[in-house]
Amino acid sequence: MEKISRNDPCWCGSGRKYKTCHMALDEKIHHYELQGHIVPRRDILKTKEQIEGIKESSVINMAVLDAVEKMIGPGVSTQQIDDLVHEVTTRMGGIPAPLNYEGFPKSVCTSINEVVCHGIPSAEVILKEGDIVNVDVSTLYKGYFSDSSRMYCIGKVSEEKKKLVQVTKECVEKGLAVVKPWNFLGDMAQVINDHAKANGYSVVVDIGGHGVGLEFHEEPFVSYVTRAGTEMLMVPGMVFTIEPMVNMGSCEIYIDDKDGWTVYTEDGKPSAQWEITVAVTQEGHEVLTW
């Protein structure tokens, strides 16, 4: 990190002197680093202005999910969801971030039952009574990315699937509750994994969350299976997703080798996921998308 003097303008662009702006915070972070902890680099800490930008993007992201909620149901194809996501996002001035992302062919991911994530919308896939489906929406607006997903129960759903959906939501809530400065990402992982396990479920290991905001996927990788006291230190200005994938059976997964995207549970049992984007603040946290 470049050396900055007390009276220099702060690196964050606030216009204030370093000593009255980020100096104390940097010293505290450095203290943790000396103890061997993983700490965030400056460039992943967002300024107030950047967080405002991510929030504007998030407004669109949540409006899209609200619109999906109104139209989703038995007989609706996942292509119809994709069409709606594209229409609402672009009408509000945004761009669906998944579209053409590393070759992803659609505007949204739709993941039904044993599909863990990254399901590709299709006119041939029709939602039916009893399905649980994750709709994962990501928006680019004025250079800022937001990312969140919700589960929808289609018609009457079995008690055991309903419970999976509910417990997965609770995992996110419990994880969120420990998001505050000077905790670790592993503290969040631990409470999420513990809650899933206590209900007989497993958390996917190989796919996790991520920093988000200036890019779709930024550092850090966010695991939901690591231990308290490990992983990156939480520092004000960090923005990341909480998006555990919780499997009713084993945590083993595989990727469809034909489309290269769709992720399935190895045992064919259902999987659920909720995703929010959260910012670490001085006081604790602020949820940017739900």
Q: Which residues here bind ligand MF3, judged by CB under 6 A?
A: 98, 101-102, 104, 109, 118, 136, 138, 147, 241, 243, 275
Taking the mean position of all CA atoms in its chain, how far away is CA 126?
Answer: 26
Q: Residue written as tokens 């990788």?
A: 221
Q: Residue 22 or 210: which CB sits closer to ligand MF3? A: 210
Phi/psi at 63 (nearest 5 deg)?
Answer: -65, -35
- The answer to whether 65 touches 135, Cβ cutoff 8 Å, is yes
Task: Work out what residue 224 binds among ligand MF3, Co ion, none; the CB cut-off runs from 5 to 8 Å by kind.
Answer: none
Q: How far is the CB of 253 from Co ion (least distance, A)?
A: 16
Applying CB under 5 A, the residues found at the interface with Co ion are 147, 241
Q: How far is the CB of 147 from Co ion (least distance, A)?
A: 4
Q: Whole-angstrom Cα distance, residue 124 to residue 140?
A: 28
- In the bound state, the residue with its beta carbon closest to ligand MF3 is 98
Distance from first CA to last CA of the chain, Å, rounded? Answer: 34
Q: How far is the CB of 216 from Co ion (least distance, A)?
A: 8
Q: How far is the CB of 148 from ligand MF3 (least distance, A)?
A: 8
Q: Whole-angstrom Cα distance, residue 214 to residue 118?
A: 21
Q: How far is the CB of 272 from ligand MF3 (least distance, A)?
A: 14
Q: Residue 11 or 101: which CB sits closer to Co ion? A: 101
Task: Work out what residue 273 binds among ligand MF3, Co ion, none; the CB cut-off runs from 5 to 8 Å by kind.
Answer: none
Radius of gyration of the chain (CA): 20
Tokens (6 digits) for 93: 């001035």
Decide: residue 49, CB within 10 A, 0-12 exposed, 13-18 middle, 19+ buried.
exposed
Secondary structure element (H or E) that encloses residue 70, with its range: helix 48-71
Q: Residue 140 or 178: which CB sits closer to ligand MF3? A: 140
Q: Residue 57 or 138: which CB sits closer to ligand MF3? A: 138
Q: Residue 187 or 243: which CB sits closer to ligand MF3? A: 243
